[in-house]
């Protein structure tokens, strides 16, 4: 009588783990993109600061 409950709980648990992995993976991707954009902005500011502007 408990076999169907184990099957249901395994399916629900698997779906919860999958959705959790998707959420964590999405947050990692978003944070990675934010870090990359931040580094690009910092690099751009450093270049703009230390490179003398070219006089035309």
**DSSP for 1-56, written as a single string:** --HHHHHHHHHHHHHHHHHHHHHHHHHHHHHHHHHHHHHHHHHHHHHHHHSPPPP-
Question: How much is the pLDDT for 1?
Answer: 59
Question: How much is the pLDDT for 50?
Answer: 81
pLDDT in tens, 4-55: 888 889 888 989 888 888 888 999 999 999 999 999 999 988 888 887 667 7
Measure Cα distances from 10 to 1, 18, 55 in Å.
15, 12, 69
Question: How much is the pLDDT for 51?
Answer: 73
């Amino acid at each position: 009588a408990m076999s169907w409950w184990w099957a249901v709980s395994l399916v629900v648990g698997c779906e919860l783990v999958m959705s959790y992995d998707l959420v964590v993976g999405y947050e990692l991707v978003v944070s990675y993109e934010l870090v990359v954009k931040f580094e690009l902005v910092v690099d751009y500011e450093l270049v703009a600061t230390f490179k003398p502007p070219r006089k035309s």
